[in-house]
């Protein structure tokens, strides 16, 4: 009997910020894979495939459960705890999930999606997440484990010793380096994968509108400050020039 190597699906889905259109694409991919797998199974058994399987998609956000993209649109918030479950009439399922701050997104399969079909579905879902990935966070997480562990251990231990550095310029420089690396650690730990229940182009419009508002507010503050300073200088000039 020949020894057959077992190929396991990689657990390498990147952290990402997903939008409603991404969830729609993933839903279609998982649903299509279910239909194809069930039809292939029926063909192998020589059974008739006239009856279409009852396939349902359920979206879970924390303690809420929804069954349509319209419900997700109405939810209109974002979440870091999301599950997309595709189920068949005989309790078979496939699930895509984002569960916590630290865990990577997951894709879990059940029969009848087996073999190369799982690899194909995994590659399609991964391509969506790679397009929306949190590149900086994933880049830090790709460091060797020993390097990341050393960074997390060294930062808390070296912080207090900066107070004992006598040269002021050196203390400032080391302090800035410590703050930068500390910010990186906090970013990696507390900037999780997230699903935003708006279309990606709508999110872009909202961000652009927000930026415009910030720019206008800053511009008004600057202009107001300049005008106020000019008025103050004029009052000072006339006060000193008057007899």
Whether residue 157 has pLDDT greater than 80? no
Integer-rounded Cα Rg, in Å, for the chain is 28
The string of pLDDT tens digits covering residues 73-98 is 888 778 889 999 988 765 677 889 98
What is the rounded CA–CA span in Å between residue 117 and residue 119?
5
Average pLDDT value for residue range 26-42: 84
Task: List C-alpha distances in Å: 116 to 49, 111, 122, 170.
Answer: 22, 13, 10, 58
> Which residue in this structure is represented by tokens 């997440």?
129
What single DSSP character describes residue 197? Answer: S
Summarize pLDDT for 184-211 with one digit per residue, the tens.
Answer: 777 776 788 889 988 887 765 545 444 4
How are beta strands 93-98 and 78-79 bridged, if at all? Answer: unpaired
**Tokens 């396991």 found at:** 8
Cut 0.75: pTM above it: no
24 within 8 A of 198, measured Cβ to Cβ: no
pLDDT digits (tens, 9 = 90+) for 98-139: 887 678 899 988 777 777 888 889 999 999 999 999 988 888
């Amino acid at each position: 009997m020949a020894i057959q190597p077992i190929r396991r699906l990689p657990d390498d889905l990147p952290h990402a910020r997903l939008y409603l259109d991404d969830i729609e694409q993933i839903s279609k991919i998982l649903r299509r894979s279910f239909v194809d797998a069930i039809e292939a199974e029926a063909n192998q058994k020589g059974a008739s495939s006239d009856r279409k399987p009852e396939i349902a998609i359920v979206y879970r956000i924390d303690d809420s459960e929804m069954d349509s993209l319209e419900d997700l649109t109405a939810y209109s918030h974002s979440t870091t705890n999301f599950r997309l479950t595709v189920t068949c009439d005989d309790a078979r399922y496939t699930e895509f999930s984002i569960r916590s701050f630290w865990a990577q997104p997951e894709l879990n399969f059940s029969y009848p999606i087996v073999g190369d079909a799982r690899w194909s579905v995994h590659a399609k879902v991964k391509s969506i997440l790679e397009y929306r990935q949190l590149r900086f966070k994933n880049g830090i997480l790709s460091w060797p484990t020993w390097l990341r562990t050393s960074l997390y251990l060294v930062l808390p231990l070296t912080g207090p010793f900066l107070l004992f550095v006598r040269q002021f310029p050196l203390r400032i420089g080391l302090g800035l380096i410590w703050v930068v690396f500390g910010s990186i650690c906090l970013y990696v730990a507390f900037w999780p994968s997230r699903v935003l229940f708006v279309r990606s182009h709508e999110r872009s419009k909202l961000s652009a509108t927000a930026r415009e508002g910030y720019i206008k507010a800053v511009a008004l503050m600057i202009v107001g400050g300049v005008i106020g300073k000019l008025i103050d200088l004029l009052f000072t000039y006339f006060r000193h020039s008057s007899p």
